[in-house]
Amino acid sequence: MTAFLQQYISPALPVILWLGRALVSGLAVWLLVRCCLSLFRGKDRESWGFVTLSNGARYEIYHWENVIGRAKRSDIRINFPSVSRSHAILSRDEAGTWRVNPLNHSSGVLLNGQRTLTTADLHPGDSIAVGGVELFFFPSDKPQPSGQPRRRPGPVGGLWLLTFIQLLLWAQFAPNFGAENIYPISAGFFGLCGLGWGLYAVSRKLHRRQFDLETLALLLTTVGFAITAAWDPGALYKQLAAVTLGMGIYGTLVWLLGRLHLAVKLRWPVAAAAAALLAFNVVMGERIFGAKNWISVGPISFQPSELVKLAFILAGAATLDRLFAKRNLIFTVLFSAYCVGCLALMSDFGTALVFFVAFLCIAFLRTGDLASIVMMTAAAGFAGGLVLHFKPYVAQRFTVWRHAWEFTQTTGYQQSRTMSAAASGGLFGTGPEDAWLKYVGAANTDLVFGVVSEEFGLLLALVCVTAVIALAAFALRAGDSARSSFYAIAACGAASMLVFQTSLNVLGAVDILPLTGVTFPFVSNGGSSMVCVWGLLAFIKAADTRQNASFAIRLPGRKGRAALTIRELCEKEVVQLEQGVCLGRADDLAFDPATAQLQNLILLGRPRLFGLLGRDESLTIPWQEIETIGADAILVHTALPEAPPQPEKPAFWRKLLAKLGT
């Protein structure tokens, strides 16, 4: 057997591995396209009710905070001269209570004919008059899909595709499978596969249908595991533990984000804890690779700045969560300045820059004041000039910037090697066994884009970059239809961190930007970074307004069974229980007009001549004859409809047949 393997398999092994890498790249592109189609196809929005005018005009309510006014960007625009540009706020809390808050305190609003100048509760059918224009308010107790549902690729197919990619990447290390390497490599890839399916099982248990964001994150994490396996297989145990902890943080945050009142209350203790952690890091931190941003507790080392990123997004979004609130930017400005200052004292300027960009994003989303943003940027530029003056070694990075090939043996060593390795990898890479960039310092963290390009090809590296951009684009798109300003600000703030961090890592490695020493989200080796990026993913997930997608919405249920929408009910097959005959799918429903209770399922008859000659008789199934509603079918006891009688043959044909018979 050994001789057979050496004679026939060994010579063909390089070709087999190359085909495997090509297949991985192709499947990764396919998976990316599937996820993007699901994320961006159509623009389904949740409707939380509507308001009507006396003339019958109807305005859907898509958010938990809605501006009523004359301005073009108002959520409910009433183009009437007596209406202010921003007249009132129509808001909902997570408990389902709706309120109206007048912004024009000189005139206020008329609520059921009574003038109010302060926030007042609303009830279904209430009359709201703004500037003499009367609106009638009709809310919904749960989100309703607007428009026609669009078919999207199912999450199970994407997960099976991801599992196949994981198996192919695991097989790339077959030549290195020795007594020491096979166990950590197998534990890493198969453990990650199990975590992905476990997370999907939990989401399905909670009746969440969309799993695209998590699939993209798992794809990036899989590529990161492949890089770690080539660099140090034993480090996969640490990475697997970090992913497990990151998913735990992800679950904790999505639970917290579903309770906005609690998230807003926690902003102060969270900010205080983050400030204390940074102060402790400044005093007691360890300096590694020039930055004093590490804390060691026994055998465990971590970067507090990565955990502070989560606190920064939560505190910033919770402080600026309400439209037209009197709160200003003072707290966010002070907290941001404190975080950036501590990071500068730790010489972690790359992370400080990431924090500052996230702050600009949060501040702009809240105020829209471009002049203030320009002033803050100018002040940050002045502070950066002082840093370059008092810390000359930072300026040396700008000396080599765009001149890496002139300093290939000194300050440009890393960038020049990264570009050479990326070029040598071609489209599908050289494989982890023949790669050499992994032996360069910080290859598995700061230079990971070059490592992916060398080992697995430029195509897979570009897929990783595109996946991060897709996460950010979805956050920006979801922010436009987010239920709450909190979700919109938090999602866009988290996305800005991911995109800017990816840009610094990739463009710094290929000498387009100065090398800053930040990680590639999900891909770079590092437990602290892995925990952080999974936590940032929770903020993006909370802004998802696709039906039954976000964990931030607690779905109603009854006695262990989730409540069904009309569309979900009509998608199930109706099966006659006694004879096992499929009757079709429900086409319509009948309700009792007095009690609004469901009475009948209606299955329309088959059309005659494409509907030109009408339909066969419809089948009506009383609700009392339904035995159970399963995951895929509705079992009923309704008697089967009788077959229609055969039409009698005309007399001419009877006579003709009689003559032929004789």
Position 539 scores a pLDDT of 92
The 10s digit of each residue's pLDDT in 546-589 is: 766 666 665 544 343 445 666 667 767 787 766 667 777 777 77
Mean pLDDT of the chain: 79
Give the helix/strand (H/E) hosting 252.
helix 236-257
Q: Scan for tokens 């008789």, then name that residue.
A: 617
Q: Is the pLDDT of residue 394 over 70?
A: no
Give the helix/strand (H/E) hosting 491.
helix 485-509
Q: How far apart are CA 360 and CA 416, in angstroms?
A: 33
Q: Is the pLDDT of residue 323 over 70?
A: no
- Within 206-235, where are the H helices? 212-231
Position 237 scores a pLDDT of 92
Task: Look up residue 215 and give its two tokens.
Answer: 């699939």
Residues 638-652 have a mean pLDDT of 59
Position 215 scores a pLDDT of 93
Task: Give me the percent of the chain exceeding a pLDDT of 90.
Answer: 19
Residues 381-387 have a mean pLDDT of 58
Q: How far apart are CA 293 and CA 344, in angstroms?
A: 10
Give the helix/strand (H/E) hosting 5.
none
Pairing of strands 619-622, 626-629: unpaired
Q: Is the pLDDT of residue 346 over 50?
A: yes
- Split at pLDDT 50, 70, 90, the class of 1 is very low
- Split at pLDDT 50, 70, 90, the class of 658 is low
Q: φ, ψ for residue 517 (rounded to 5)?
A: 85, 30
Q: Is the pLDDT of residue 404 over 90?
A: no
Question: Is 358 within 8 Å of 536 (Cβ atoms)?
Answer: no
Nearest Cα to Cα of residue 251 among 260, 243, 262? 243
Q: How far apart are CA 232 and CA 444, in angstroms?
A: 10
Q: Is the pLDDT of residue 4 over 50?
A: no
Residue predicted with more confidence, 95 or 37? 37
Residue 259 gets which letter from DSSP?
Answer: -
Q: How far apart are CA 347 and CA 273, in angstroms?
A: 21
The 10s digit of each residue's pLDDT in 104-115 is: 666 778 888 888
The 10s digit of each residue's pLDDT in 421-434 is: 888 888 998 988 88
- Which of 55-59, 78-82, 181-185, 275-279 holds the top average pLDDT? 275-279
Picking from 29-38, 142-151, 262-271, which range would have the lowest pLDDT averaged per residue? 142-151
**Residue 267, SS3 per DSSP:** helix
Position 562 scores a pLDDT of 45
Please name the residues in contact with 519: beta carbons below 8 A apart, sequence gap of 6 or more. Answer: 445, 446, 448, 501, 505, 526, 529
**Residue 181, SS3 per DSSP:** coil
Residues 390-405 have a mean pLDDT of 66
Nearest Cα to Cα of residue 46 among 92, 100, 103, 78? 92
Position 256 scores a pLDDT of 87
Q: Is the pLDDT of residue 592 over 50?
A: yes
Position 499 scores a pLDDT of 93
- Split at pLDDT 50, 70, 90, the class of 66 is confident
Position 558 scores a pLDDT of 38
Torsion of CA 452, 457, 462, 463, to 10 degrees: -90
Please name the residues in contact with 299: beta carbons below 8 A apart, sequence gap of 6 or more. Answer: none
Q: φ, ψ for residue 118 (rounded to 5)?
A: -125, 175
Q: Is the pLDDT of residue 368 over 60?
A: no
Position 169 scores a pLDDT of 93
The 10s digit of each residue's pLDDT in 454-488 is: 999 999 999 999 999 999 999 888 777 677 778 88
Q: φ, ψ for residue 559 (rounded to 5)?
A: 45, 55
Q: How far apart are CA 20 and CA 460, in angstroms?
A: 13
Position 631 scores a pLDDT of 60
Position 249 scores a pLDDT of 94
Q: Scan for tokens 């009309």, then name that residue.
A: 566
Residues 591-596 have a mean pLDDT of 60
Q: Is the pLDDT of residue 252 over 80?
A: yes
Task: Give me the percent of the chain exceeding a pLDDT of 70.
Answer: 76
Residue predicted with more confidence, 242 or 513? 242
